[in-house]
Structure 1
Amino acid sequence: MTRLRTAVIGVGHLGQHHARILSEFPDVELVGVVDANSDQAMTIAQRCRTRAFDRHEPLLDLVDAVSVVTPTSFHHHVAAEFLRNGIPVLVEKPMCKTVAEADELISLAREANVPLQVGHIERFNPAFEELAKRPIRPAFIEAERHGPYTGRSTDIGAVLDLMIHDLDLILSLVPGPVKDVSAVGAAVFGGHEDMVNARLVFESGCVAHVTASRISARPKRRLRIWASEGYAGIDFVSRKITLVQVNDEVRRHGLRVEKMDPTQRAKLKDEMFGRHLDVLNIDGDRKGDQLTNELRHFVDCVRANRTPRVTGEDGRDALALAHRVLDAVRSHAWDGNEDGPSVGPNRMPKPAGKLFELPKSQSEAA
């Protein structure tokens, strides 16, 4: 089998893992890695036994496919050059800075008749893959994505950096357009928003609450879904999913608590799960990591010229919804007066005071 010639453009925190994984696929030849930081490019190239470049242009004639993992501001420019040359592209999320840029990449991929995949990696998390196999029609969704401050992705805020993952997942699960978006967010350290809460209402009636923070002490990535079919809870960090549904007996006859005697009611709490509700816990950790799964899927799609699981249109739709969330964040009036001075994530009201005082020893150490 002829090895697929690939390259990774941008080998920082995430891109270096793209390079490592691609270099380990037996049917792939990692032709080179590119980074504006020549020392970083050389370090990753040596580690992956390939060539280092400080510009992507020389690779246009050397590769069959490319992975674009640059800062978001450069996604459109770099991906467009490869697509114009008929080269399939995996571009990391968010797909571009603007919806117009995303639409152009989609058009270029169509004209070249090549795969364009967007790096919404959680679609390849084994726990979410388990959920995607099942007939669930969400009525209410709660998504949380929290993490510590890393100092990376400073050209975008929490919505495009973190929340967009869950926006894509929700759009893949809920049919129909989003009717209403409301949101509130705060820029704790200035610049872009650092934490955001959004409420989405779909025309189907589904409601989703989505929270993202990049200044949390510990990582948390969870998705919980309530539906007529049952409940699904995913922990993306541990790659585990819990599914709950009423059992066949309850489906047929219902559960009439008001007709139970006191003894039966007392037992209900202990018997609820197992006797009345079926529970299935699935550990997806043995099914590989999501980045390896994502890159394997991309390589296979390029070889077969097949439509990827996460298309350019999917990436564009998630980006468009993210911008609606950002618009809602920017227009949120902290004092209830939309024409007043306290509007948007950078204009929170002044604090009324301190929540607590540190002990003197800690205060001096700080």
Structure 2
Amino acid sequence: MSSASVVPLRVAVVGCGAFGRNHLRVYQTLATSGVPVQVVALVDPNPGARELAVRDHGLPAFATVADLLAANLSLDAASVCTPTVHHADSAVALLEAGVDVLIEKPIAPSLADADRILAAAAGHARVVQVGHLERFNPAVTAALPLLHRPMFFEAHRLSVFTPRSLDVDVVLDLMIHDLDVVLALADSTVREVRAVGLPVLSREVDIANARVEFESGAVANFTASRVSTERVRKLRFFQPHQYLSLDFARQDLLMIDVTAAASLTPQQLEALLAGSGKSEVAAAEAKPDRPAGAEHPSAGLSLRKVPTEPGEPLRLEIEAFLSAVRTRETPRVSGAAARDALALALAIQDSIRDHRSRSGLV
């Protein structure tokens, strides 16, 4: 059946800030390219934003989700791009009205709110997908078939300061992307969390470091900052005989075979990455055009650049959401998976508060 013969899904975008405008852009691009989807309305409490929606897009705009639902527009789905504190109220109202939802990350500000969303989705047989878009990054997609018991992860996500998403701290703003990815790759429950963090330019924590141990024995270190002088989006992880380096921004995946490291413990892997191993990764990444299978300058190491299929993660995310709406399949980033990422983020926040209290910083 051609896409032309499929009835377009009728979608609303709730929240016309930066995230909402990007969702609108992607939906409209997909529609122009022949994907059967149609944005039929926008929602924003700001009168100016609603006026721009009408003027620039010719779309009806409503002040509240209740007003949207009262208009009886026969909605199939909606993107919820409001500030995090409003996610649950907006999503639950839509779900109870029979509308599938794509919610920007994090799923909610609290586990209680996340559970409200999941209960509404289950009670009304609705799809909930959450916008952890790095799961759709081509580098992550390319890494999935290569997984075999990863045991040590190191994630760095650094940004320059912008007056955006200041309603949440850096853990819920930036680090949660890597928490979600590592939870998916590690495929294990969390055993222990230790973290430190400080506010720098805002009232919330702007820079944080967390160490997470899993029941599998795997260890993960996360660093996130929104007060950096550079932009970094990288994840490195060790598994038996290999370590892999993902550059989210470049959508690159580098794999280094460690033929001499047959039986390292997670602690030894961590020491290797913190010391000479880290410099080897840096040296390899400095020359990404090295031929596939080439020997690394260090004895026992060979590297190759894993092929990736370039693509905009947000577009891939929205395409996956629309597919889930049509097929009723569980999304790649389900509400339950997003709740797990939120639970870990909140545990990290608790550890940061405890450390600051013990250190006399509160």
Query: What TM-score, normalized to structure 1?
Result: 0.82
Question: Quick one: which of 2, 22, 35 aligns to 2:27?
Answer: 22
The amino acid that maps onto 1:25 is L
**In the alignment, which residue of structure 1 is the partner of 2:42?**
33
Deviation at 1:139, TM superposition (A): 1.0
The answer (yes or no) to whether the contact 2:166–2:202 under 8 Å persists in 1 is: no
Question: Quick one: which of 44, 51, 57 aligns to 1:42?
Answer: 51
Matches within 5 A, 1:150-169: 150-169=162-181
**In the alignment, which residue of structure 1 is the partner of 2:64?**
55
- Whole-Å Cα distance in 2 between the matches of residues 275 and 124 of structure 1? 35
Larger of the two Rg values belongs to structure? 1
The answer (yes or no) to whether the contact 1:9–1:67 under 8 Å persists in 2 is: yes
Matches within 5 A, 1:1-366: 1-26=6-31, 27-60=36-69, 61-62=72-73, 63-246=75-258, 271-272=295-296, 276-282=300-306, 284=308, 287-333=310-356, 338=358, 342-343=360-361, 347=362
The amino acid that maps onto 1:305 is R
- Whole-Å Cα distance in 1 between the matches of residues 181 and 304 of structure 2? 21
Q: 1:96 to 1:271 in 2, by over 3 A?
A: closer
**In the alignment, which residue of structure 2 is the partner of 1:257?**
none
**In the alignment, which residue of structure 2 is the partner of 1:264?**
none
Q: What is the CA deviation profile of residues 208-238 of structure 1, one whole-angstrom value per residue up to 9, with x for unaligned ones?
A: 1101111112211100001104111011111
The answer (yes or no) to whether the contact 2:295–2:302 under 8 Å persists in 1 is: no
SS in 1 for 2:151: strand
Runs of 4+ in 1 over 3 A off after TM superposition: 44-49, 269-278
**Structure 2 residues without counterparts, runs of 5 or longer:** 1-5, 263-283, 285-293
Deviation at 1:155, TM superposition (A): 1.2
What is the number of residues matched between the two proteins?
Answer: 320
Q: What is the CA deviation profile of residues 105-125 of structure 1, one whole-angstrom value per residue up to 9, with x for unaligned ones?
A: 111111111210011010001
SS in 2 for 1:279: strand
The answer (yes or no) to whether the contact 1:224–1:234 under 8 Å persists in 2 is: yes
**In the alignment, which residue of structure 2 is the partner of 1:350?**
none
The amino acid that maps onto 2:344 is L
Deviation at 1:309, TM superposition (A): 0.3
- Whole-Å Cα distance in 2 between the matches of residues 42 and 104 of structure 1? 32
The answer (yes or no) to whether the contact 2:103–2:129 under 8 Å persists in 1 is: yes
Q: 1:321 to 1:271 in 2, by over 3 A?
A: closer
Q: What is the CA deviation profile of residues 149-208 of structure 1, one whole-angstrom value per residue up to 9, with x for unaligned ones?
A: 111112110011111111111110112211111111001135110000001011111111
- Whole-Å Cα distance in 2 between the matches of residues 233 and 192 of structure 1? 30
**Structure 1 residues without counterparts, runs of 5 or longer:** 253-268, 348-366
Q: RMSD between aligned alpha carbons? A: 2.2
Q: 1:245 to 1:44 in 2, by over 3 A?
A: farther
Give % identity.
Answer: 38
Query: What TM-score, normalized to structure 2?
Result: 0.83
- Whole-Å Cα distance in 2 between the matches of residues 242 and 47 of structure 1? 43
